Amino acid sequence: MTADDKKFAFSVKTDDWDHYARYRPSYPESMWTTWLDFHQGPLESIMDVGTGGGIGAASFLAVASSRGQQVNRVYLSDPNENNLAAAKKNFTSERYPGIQFFFHRGPAEEAFPGLSPGSVDMLIACASIHWTEIDTAMSTIADTLRPGGTFGAVVYPQPTIKDDEQAADALAAVFEKRRRFQDQGDAEKDVTKSVRARAFRNLSIGLDYVPFDPSKWATVHRRTANLPKDGKWPLRDSTWAHYGEPKLAVLKGEQVEVVEEDEWWSRKGYSIEQLKEFFQTLGYEPFVMDGRLWETDAFSQFEKLVRERGGDFELVWPAATVLGRKK
C-alpha cells in the first residue's frame, strides 16, 4: 500500500478528529506507563505510524513528560492527507516547546524520508497497524529502530455488551450489517482482497498476527484484555467465513498475558445515542452519516431490545497491546 492508494480505507476529515477523540476510548495512562517501563535506554526520539490526528502520540508525550522523560524529536506518518493535516494542526512548537516535529505522508511499510536507519528510540502504532501489509511493515519498523529500541502497538476492535448475551448478539448483527454496506462500496470485486478485508482479518485475532522475527527482536510481550467468555474476538467466526483467516504469529518464548477484565476499556451506562456517535468514528461512512444503518432491521431490533431493558448498557472493548524490544 502506498500513500497514493485510493483504496486506503480510513480517512477522517481534519475537523472531525475532535469528534473522534470525544467518542472513542482514550488510551490509559497505565498502558503508557507499562510501555515506558518496558523501554530501555534513551528516549530522545519517537515515531508514530498511522498517526491519524496524533491522538496516541499526544497521550504518550503527556505521560512521558509527567515522568520527566523529555522527547526531543517526534516523527509522524500517515497515508492519508486529511489525517496528517490534523496531526500538523495539533503538533506545533507553541504547544510543545523544545520538541521538533517531522511529518510524512506515507504508510508504515515505507521508510521515513531523510531519517537514518536504526535511529529512532521508540515507535508506536495506535489503532493503526492492522491496516498494513504486516510483514513489510514490521521489517521497516525493525530497520527504523535503534538496537534496544521499542515497538508498541495497541488495538481495540468491535466492542460488545457485557453480561447480556442476547444484546451482545444483537449488537454484533449491527456490526455485520455495517460490513455488508462496506462490501457494496468496495472497489474490489473480490472483497477478500481489499485493504479493509485484510484489516478485518487481522483484528479478528487482536494483535496475534504481528510477527517478530527472532533474529531481530529480543523480547516480546503480548497482552489481551476483555475477551468474551468463549475466548474469541468479536465477529471472529463471521470474519473468517466472509474474509478469510489471518496467520497466527505468536511464537514459543514470547510473553503472553491475558487479563479477564480491564475496566478502562468499558463504559457503564452507555446509551443508544452514544453508540451512534461511536459508529461515526469508525470512518464517518456515508451509510452511517445519512442514517441508513439506523434504518436497518438489525439496528431496529437492537434498539428495541435495549430500550426494553432500560435504555442503557455496559459497552466493553476487547483490547490488545504488544511490545517488542529490538536486538
Residue type, 53: G
Q: Which of 7-16, 66-75, 109-118 has the lowest mean pLDDT?
A: 7-16
Each residue of 160-213: pLDDT tens digit? 999 999 999 999 999 999 999 998 877 666 778 889 999 999 999 999 999 999
CATH of the domain at 86: 3.40.50.150
**Average pLDDT over every residue of 8-13:** 59
Each residue of 140-153: pLDDT tens digit? 999 999 999 999 99
Look-up of cell digits 497466527: 248
Please give the Cα distance from 155 to 262 (Å, whole number).
14
Burial of 113 (0-12, 13-18, 19+ CB in 10 A): exposed
Say what the pLDDT of residue 1 is: 39
Give domain status of residue 23, yes or no.
Answer: yes
* pLDDT greater than 90 at residue 6: no
Please give the Cα distance from 257 to 223 (Å, whole number).
5
Give domain status of residue 261, yes or no.
Answer: yes
Give domain status of residue 29, yes or no.
Answer: yes
Q: What percent of the chain has pLDDT over 90?
A: 90
The total domain count for the chain is 1
What distances in angstroms separate CA 195 from CA 141, 148, 153, one per listed residue? 20, 32, 19
Say what the pLDDT of residue 96 is: 97
Each residue of 52-108: pLDDT tens digit? 999 999 999 999 999 999 999 999 999 999 999 999 999 999 999 999 999 999 999
* pLDDT greater than 50 at residue 131: yes
| Residue 278 cell numbers, joined | 461511536
**Dihedrals phi, psi of 262, to nearest 5 degrees:** -125, 105
- Where are the strands (E) in 201-316, listed by range? 217-225, 255-259, 266-271, 312-316
Give domain status of residue 278, yes or no.
Answer: no
Give domain status of residue 216, yes or no.
Answer: yes
Instruction: Give the three-state DSSP class for 135.
Output: helix
Domain that holds residue 236: 1-158+197-266+315-327
For residue 250, what are the contacts with CB-CB under 8 A and spacing of at least 6?
A: 208, 222, 256
Please give the Cα distance from 326 to 216 (Å, whole number).
6
Give domain status of residue 107, yes or no.
Answer: yes
| Residue 18 cell numbers, joined | 475532535
* pLDDT greater than 80 at residue 3: no
Instruction: Give the three-state DSSP class for 209.
Output: coil
Average pLDDT, the chain: 94
